[in-house]
Structure 1
Amino acid sequence: MPAVHASSVLCNVHLTSLISSFQDGLFEDLRKLFALRRQLQATATRSSEVNVEIEFDGHVFTLAMAPRQSSWLQKLLKLAMLQFETAWVCHVLVCVPSAATPQLVDIAAKHGDRPMLDLLHARGVRGTTDALDLAKSLPIVEYLHAHQYTCTTAAMDIAASRGALDILHFLHTARTEGCTVHAMDFAAANGHLDVLAFLHAERQEGCTRRAMELALQRRHDHVVAFLVRHHPYQSA
């Protein structure tokens, strides 16, 4: 009788699934990926890359694997992030937390992926100055600022080039890194008159002759008029 009870317990599918859910290890699809990498190691050179197909969540995408490099998985995750395959990245990090890198944080910040940022921060992974420099939305900039990220002058310069006045205003008022003359040059090149007006009124860096040259080349007449009026010494 005890054997019957033991058998009923051990053969209980739901109980087995519950117990196995607490086990460490790789998901079945990742086991195949790791096995493929081992197979490719035998024939690949140190620098060679092989395109591999990843099937996940009902669709297939292709990533370039360098099977003989120790950082092969980290590079796969970076490529997946760049292709917006963030669900697969999360799937991998559940099994292999050590694969998380600062570069993933930087990409998540650039793409405005708050859930991925939360996941990586929960695992103790922080990005580089690129995270704040390249962030494209104000909520992400504020999030990184609250998490005490540092940045460079590139943050304001890039925001100016994109016409992101909200980010520019925040960085000007909340941060001390400042910008360079490239901020006005880039804004002029891309026709962002509101950004030019803000930088002229609030900052002291000014611009170079390149601002006028690029505005003329791209026929931003409103920008040209602004520069002639406010920065005539760069317009001659």
Structure 2
Amino acid sequence: MQNLASPTMRRLTVFALCAFLALCLAGCATDEPVAQAQPQTLEIGENAGDVYSVALSNSSGKSVVSMSVKLPGDESFSANLMSSDAHLKDGEDAIVYVPKQATEDGTYIIDLKVVFGDGGVSVLHHLDLEEFSAATLLLNGKIGYVTYQGKSANRMISTLDLQTYYYNLEDPTAAARDKAEEEEEKRRLEKLEEDLKATEEQQAADATTSSDGTKTATEENAQTKVTTNDTQGMDIEDDPIEVNQDEDLSDD
């Protein structure tokens, strides 16, 4: 019996040990944190050759669907640096690669055209890529601009005033048109307010007229009642018709 029991006991012991190790391994696997996939930073442009690498944060409130640059000496903007299915959503970051091409005076000044998902277009002029390697894209109405930590000035720089200047320079009627649109919207709101006020006044007048009409009708009914009561209260002997009839009988 002992010889028969010993192999069985050994097998049971080995089986229990394997089960225990399996439970330990499962517990260890459960305790390990699950790795979460990190969103990939969108790359715009081609990272090849001598290029500027600009970390761009989109805080415009809109998605960007197209970016193109006008390098020094170019007469037109480049093709779209973004792929056709790419979107730089609001709040997301991207790395923008711009080829290095110096102007005659040795500076690296470019223009950047941005197309938004709603069809809006902003052109950011005179961006000196030597001055920053990271920037934030913003919108002020229809005017796009960037803010960045200036290397020379050692402070935060905003290009809003510069872009506003170019915006009005390119379209002299832009400022007047925007102001006209604001004035038109203001007049529309004032008209709505006037109409609402007129409606409320008319309703109040109708309510007053209705109240006065009811009052007049009540007064007329009361006057009619008084007249009727007075007629019913007259003495019959005083009725001139009755008196004339009596006189006629007496004559006969």
The structure that has the greater radius of gyration is 2
| Same topology, TM > 0.5 | no
Bigger relative contact order (CA 8 A; separation at least 6): 2
| TM, length-normalised to structure 1 | 0.23
From the two aligned structures, give the one with the greater strand fraction: 2
- The normalised TM-score by structure 2 is 0.22
- Considering fraction of residues, name the structure with more helix: 1
